[in-house]
């Protein structure tokens, strides 16, 4: 099996990517997911609230 080479023909060391389990243990990943989920919930609830207010006639278009 041949090794990975760059454009000059020199061998390039392959960097190992972390496993899914290692990434899942990282607290920063969970923090980012929590922020994204919170923003998604806030935006969706604001849109639903606006649609309900418009459909019930509380806001004048």
The tens digit of pLDDT for each residue in 14-47 reads 677 778 777 778 888 889 999 999 999 999 999 9
Helix (H, G, I), strand (E, B) or coil at 5: strand
Distance from C-alpha of 34 to C-alpha of 15, rounded to nearest angstrom: 29
pTM over 0.85: no
Cβ contacts of 11 within 8 Å, gap of 6 or more: 3, 4, 5
Distance from C-alpha of 4 to C-alpha of 14, rounded to nearest angstrom: 8
Distance from C-alpha of 61 to C-alpha of 44, rounded to nearest angstrom: 20
Question: What would the two tokens of residue 47 be?
Answer: 């849109």
Q: Which band of pLDDT confidence, cut at 50, 70 and 90, is reported for residue 48?
A: very high
């Amino acid at each position: 099996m041949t090794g990975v080479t760059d454009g000059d023909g020199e061998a390039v060391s392959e960097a190992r990517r972390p496993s899914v389990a290692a990434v899942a243990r990282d607290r920063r990943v969970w923090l980012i997911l929590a922020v994204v989920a919170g923003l998604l919930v806030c935006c969706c609830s604001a849109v639903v609230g606006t649609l309900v207010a418009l459909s019930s006639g509380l806001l004048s278009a």
